[in-house]
Amino acid sequence: MARRDAGRLNGIGFGTWAWGNQLVWGYQPERDDPVLEETFLEAVRSGLRLVDTADSYGTGRLNGRSEALLGRFVQALPATLQRELLVATKLAPFPWRIGRRGLDRAFAASRDRLQGHLERVQLHWSTARYAPWQEVSLLDGLADLVLNGAVRELGVSNMGPRRLEWMQDRLEQRGVRLSSVQVQFSLMAPGDHRLQDLLAICRKQSIEVLAYSPLAFGVLGQPPDAQPRPGTLLRRRLFNRLLPASLPLRQELKGMADRRGVSMVQVALNWCRAHGATPIPGLRSPAQAREAAAALSWELTPEEQDRLDTLRSRCPVRMPANPFESA
């Protein structure tokens, strides 16, 4: 994969998918909410300024929990810090959200849960696979929100290069700039050629690439001799599949981290940054927030990047592709 432009230093944000998710992350409100609030405060204190959520985050009755928690946490900040944050949410294009006004009620509900703290709205995924006729209307409706001043920026998520170019062209016709595209991007993400094409388009169009799951659900932070047992069945199955296949890669991450006196997490995040992406790791503890922010203080050398690229290409098993991701 190509290196980023010399001198360009990408930031790091953070994601909140786990905030309310019981299926994958075992969320328990009474136990986790106080820790998540301190995690948020530590992330802000450490200099992280972009935070990502979605209206579909949260399991079952906890749907929307992530936005509600984030809104509460942001509202408690001093006004000066509130103004420095870029809060982004994603709206799910469910089949019943139809037409140009199909996302208006969802947008209003998200803004209410976020207590008005919303700078960027994103289309969570493309409808090209199940309702291609629906997408242009939904995209136009989101563009309307930017044009009428309801929200400052527009982004998309889970788009492949072909769909991204189509969306970029459509938005240009409306006079709206596409600020970001969010995709699965890590040393263990699938789809090498698709990711290369996407990065090339984004460099040309000055679209920010937000890298979700940059740590492959935590796999890339596991030392070579670790024998973790995640708390949910889904993560245990994923670890059982990915840990053996990623061993040479994790050995190299550990060696680089030890030589620099940093963590494997920092090395994995800086690999994303070296390729021109802004990683948005999910944060569930203050220690994770400090770890993510620490990666902002240094960069990989070209030789380190090349070594990791080579080991990535040899990794026989990768993360599952997101079924919502378009071509």
Residues forming beta bridges with residue 208, ordered by sequence position: 180
Task: State the angle between helix axes of 286-294 and 29-45 in degrees (0 to 180), rounded to the nearest 10.
Answer: 30
In this structure, which amino acid lies at residue 314?
R
- DSSP code string of 95-161: TTS-STTTTHHHHHHHHHHTTT---EEEE-S--TTT-HHHHHHHHHHHHHHHHTTS-SEEEEES--H
Task: State the angle between helix axes of 286-294 and 264-274 in degrees (0 to 180), rounded to the nearest 10.
Answer: 50
Token pair 């788009």: residue: 159
Catalytic residue among 27, 57, 130, 212: 57
- 280 CA to centre of own chain: 4
Show the DSSP H helices in 218-246 as ranges.
233-245
* b/e per residue 189-212 (b: at least 16 CB within 10 A): bebeebbebbbebbeeeebbbbbb
Active site residue 212: no
Catalytic residues: 57
